[in-house]
Structure 1
Amino acid sequence: MKQTIHTVSYEVSQVLANVDEDQAVKAAQSIENAERIFVTGEGRSGLMGKAFAMRLMHAGYEVYVTGETITPSIHEGDLLLAISGSGSTGSICQFAEKAKGQGAVITAVTTNAESRLGEVSDHVLVVQAATKKRLPEEPETIQPLGNQFDQSLHLLLDAVIIYAVNQSKKTNNDEMTNRHANLE
């Protein structure tokens, strides 16, 4: 068991070590510059997106998740952060194209900058991790499906929020705690 834990954490640390710092900084800046932030993803990428959206809310950003009943329409000045490991998930690409048509900024988080999602986006944050497709250019992993992408995505997006908050001095831990759910 210890060896499996070590290998998984090593794999994720290797993925994160290969993140392009300029891309990550641009993702943080797109968050900081947005009037409102919309997060979209399907499946496990969507779950990581929801965790990211919750952290953005804690940090004081106005944030929505696509598909929720209270999500308003997107407009110019807004950001759509679109997550798709392959960059080809149909609904995510459609959301990005629609948001682009409304004047929103699109930041893609994907393994493939040349994908349909990457091409429509203003900014791309590449996560060089294995997906369920196991393409030849993806790194080796002991993990099934897109686990390596999901885990790396979770940590990377947390780092993006921490960076954005630290750069803007927008909030602090006490304020974030006050925004945490209290109907529990």
Structure 2
Amino acid sequence: MNELSVIVKEMQGVIEQIGEKEVERFFTELQKTTRIFVTGEGRSGFMAKAFAMRLMHLGYNMYVVGETVTPAVAGGDCLIAISGSGSTQSVIHQAQRSKSAGSNVVCITANEDSDLAQVADTCIVIPAATKNRGEKEAKSIQPLSSLFDQCLHVFCDAVCLKSSTRRTLSHEEVLAKHSNTE
């Protein structure tokens, strides 16, 4: 078995189900606010942080929930809440608190019927295998939520690509926001 080919084939099957319409819809949500917060746990949380980093490079005002320098979410802000299963209690709680504060909540999940999806104003579905192996999720031989997290990363990078081209940012402009402490 060629593991790399298996992973790419699994990812391609999921990504083909998402489509450009979802990338556009998510990009549109990002344009509605000046402050964007991300939250997630485990590997999905790492993907959320990677997304926040790239959006910061693209000029967005980004925060990661739980970091010591992150301010309180307020009305007009946007919280991007990520949970493959849609049942991660800490993410649901953060989404509920953000919504109560008047922010827009966008979730990314594999489960459109989840508790997280019910809290969100906008739900982006990535129908990839998670630890729960739901019936609407694509099948995978990979462990736990690997396929969801891989597809999540590619989806978020597609949103970043759309943002950089729509906002006509050059590589040099983005590079200027990259770390210079090395």
Question: TM-score per shorter chain, which class?
Answer: over 0.9
Query: Is the partner of 1:179 in helix, strand or coil?
Result: coil
Match of 2:70 in 1: 71
Q: TM-score, normalised by structure 1?
A: 0.95
Query: Is the partner of 2:44 in helix, strand or coil?
Result: helix
Mapped to 2, the partners of 1:84 and 1:59 lie a distance apart of: 24
Aligned ranges 1:27-176 → 2 under 5 Å: 27-169=26-168, 171-176=169-174
Query: Is the partner of 1:106 in helix, strand or coil?
Result: strand
Mapped to 2, the partners of 1:172 and 1:70 lie a distance apart of: 29
Mapped to 2, the partners of 1:181 and 1:21 lie a distance apart of: 31
Query: Is the partner of 2:107 in helix, strand or coil?
Result: strand
Match of 2:177 in 1: 179
Q: 8 Å contact 1:96–1:121 — kept in the other structure?
A: yes
Query: Is the partner of 2:131 in helix, strand or coil?
Result: coil
Number of aligned positions between the proteins: 182
Per the TM alignment, residue 27 of structure 1 is displaced from its structure 2 partner at its CA by 1.0
Q: 8 Å contact 1:81–1:108 — kept in the other structure?
A: yes
Per the TM alignment, residue 80 of structure 1 is displaced from its structure 2 partner at its CA by 0.3
Mapped to 1, the partners of 2:172 and 2:128 lie a distance apart of: 34
Query: Is the partner of 1:142 in helix, strand or coil?
Result: coil
Mapped to 2, the partners of 1:168 and 1:156 lie a distance apart of: 18
Per the TM alignment, residue 76 of structure 1 is displaced from its structure 2 partner at its CA by 1.3
CA RMSD of aligned residues (A): 1.2
Q: For residue 78 of structure 1, what is the amino acid of its counterpart?
A: D
Identity of aligned residues (%): 43
Mapped to 2, the partners of 1:127 and 1:151 lie a distance apart of: 10
Q: For residue 174 of structure 2, what is the amino acid of its counterpart?
A: M
Per the TM alignment, residue 12 of structure 1 is displaced from its structure 2 partner at its CA by 0.5
Per the TM alignment, residue 165 of structure 1 is displaced from its structure 2 partner at its CA by 2.7
Query: Is the partner of 1:33 in helix, strand or coil?
Result: coil
Match of 1:21 in 2: 20
Q: 8 Å contact 1:53–1:64 — kept in the other structure?
A: yes
